[in-house]
Amino acid sequence: MARCLAALLGVLFVWLVHSHVALGALAPADACKLAKIKATAKASTKALVCYLKALKRGDPVDPACLVTQDTDLAAAFAEAEAAGGCPTIGDAQSTSAGVVQPFANLIAARLPPPGAACACGATAPARLLFTTETAAGTCIDTTTFGGVTTSRPCGQQLLGGGANAIPPWTLPDLGLSLFSVTGCTDTRLVVENTTAVDTGSPRTCTSTGCLFGAPVSAPNPTTPPVSVCLINTVNRDASGTANCATGSVDVSMPVVTTIFLTGDLLPGTVGTQPCPACTGGICDGGPNHGLACTAGTSVAAGSTSHDCPPPPGLELSDVTPIDVTFTTGVVTRVAQPSGNQTRVFCGFCRDSDDTGAFQNPAKPCVQNIDCGELRCFDNLNGVGTAIPCTTPGGQDVCPVDHFCEHFESCEQRNNGAFGPAGGAVQTITGTGVAAGALATGGGPLTGKLAAVFCVRPTYDPTVDAALDLPGPGAITLQGAFELLP
């Protein structure tokens, strides 16, 4: 449903620009033209929200909600026209009738009838459980601009641009993620987060701060001292939709990865072990060495566990995505030329003509016009700051050892995706698999989730250079879906 509505929004923009708002050739400097496009898109988004709220409640759409969008549209058009420069005047009503209302009708036609009974078993489900499994097959394809496709295994987390030097890491099995089902209309489910209080553990919930799977060992066989242990944590409350007839799921749940530079914690064991192990119910390595633990994965030897955390003081930084939507469908991201680069998946405002630094806090962008702010640059640490300034290249209002820089270019760290040697990658495709028909209490069915997203810079020079951040990211998971009463 979410992908369908997103596609409708795309249709809306084409319809708007070409047919219904008589704006002529769209020029970025024309404030009136831009204001009317933004106002119409905003009104259409409000219509979408009105219908989604109705879907969640299982009720007809609230007419008062739709009236508000028309009132706001008229006010925004009036404000734009008062500023002058508009080729047409008084077209708010016709725009609403010609664009916003037809768009709302398209949404309404694709939603189940209000009040339709839940058709997901003898009783309506209250929870959706996803349990990760050992993955099989491939789920991520990367294709170069020359048409060469590389297929990558399921069950991995990949990060960074084409110069990334760190191999993708395999995500552990037996990870539990429990979602609440807050609405069921026909076969369509509304899925939201659970808390640690709801589930009885921070290891199975899906709210901000909940743990996402067991610790991940990411050994570096060629250079063991730079092996890392990773802790994945939910960064925003989960929300989404599912369909019990097909087993399809679309859930937004960003995951932040905390990196611990541990090296090999267990040099006496075979291979490199960057995370403490839970072996035979006892922690091996780390601050809880010798204490009891419960294995977090099915690995017989060297299983990780949150009962056995990595040593304190070794945390490097958090790798933070902008947004992560897991889907059992197909998600594709195509790189575009931007700034001084030819293949940008995830643009962030950057001082490309001087320091090469990214604006801090990170500012996502689509094109150079989204950038251009002046900010003080920390010359000692090589990072931008949030302090505004006015004189490029000068000290201006900046603190000592800072100077004013222009973050003018929309780029990622390097071209492409998922290096090494990934600079030519033009397209990333993640492929999930729906589990099939699910019924409350009917047992688990296996499916696959895929997500492709953008990752901010960490502003840690070592981490950003090694992972080639900012840049794209991808997570794929195989697991069992189960509807619970």
pLDDT tens-digit readout, 387-425: 898 888 777 788 888 889 889 999 999 999 999 999 999
pLDDT band at 300 (very low <50, low <70, confident <90, very high): low
Q: Which residues of 211-220 are buried (b: 16+ CB within 10 A; e: fewer)?
A: bbbbbbbbbb
pLDDT for residue 115: 61
* 206: pLDDT strictly greater than 70: yes
**CA–CA dist 416, 341 (Å, integer):** 9
Contacts for 82 with CB less than 8 Å, ≥ 6 apart: none
- Cis, peptide link before residue 461, omega less than 30° from 0: no
Residue among 475, 461, 458, 471 nearest 347 (CA): 471
pLDDT for residue 463: 86
What mean pLDDT comes out for the span 345-367? Answer: 92
Contacts for 306 with CB less than 8 Å, ≥ 6 apart: 203, 211, 214, 215, 296
**CA–CA dist 126, 189 (Å, integer):** 10
Do the beta carbons of residue 247 and residue 235 sit within 8 Å?
A: no
Residue among 444, 459, 448, 474 nearest 135 (CA): 448
- Indicate the range of 126-130, 261-265, 335-339, 346-350 predicted with least confidence: 261-265
pLDDT band at 16 (very low <50, low <70, confident <90, very high): very low
Which whole-number Å values give the CA distances from 89 to 58, 79, 239, 372, in the listed order? Answer: 39, 11, 41, 32
pLDDT for residue 6: 47
Residue 360 has phi, psi (to 5 degrees) of -130, 120
Helix (H) or strand (E) holding 337: strand 336-338
* 330: pLDDT strictly greater than 70: yes
pLDDT for residue 29: 45
Contacts for 91 with CB less than 8 Å, ≥ 6 apart: 21, 22, 77
**CA–CA dist 206, 252 (Å, integer):** 10
pLDDT band at 19 (very low <50, low <70, confident <90, very high): very low
Which whole-number Å values give the CA distances from 236 to 103, 288, 430, in the listed order? Answer: 29, 29, 22
- Residue 296's Cβ-side half-sphere holds a number of Cα atoms within 13 Å equal to 24
Q: pLDDT digits over 20-77, tens only? A: 444 444 454 467 767 778 877 887 787 777 777 766 555 666 767 766 767 777 777 7
* 323: pLDDT strictly greater than 90: no
Q: pLDDT digits over 439-456, tens only? A: 999 999 999 999 999 999
Instruction: Identify the three-state secondary structure at position 334.
Output: strand
Do the beta carbons of residue 480 and residue 445 sit within 8 Å?
A: yes
Do the beta carbons of residue 256 and residue 319 sit within 8 Å?
A: yes
| Residue 452: strand pairing partners | 474
**Cα-Cα-Cα-Cα dihedral sign, residues 368, 369, 374, 375:** negative
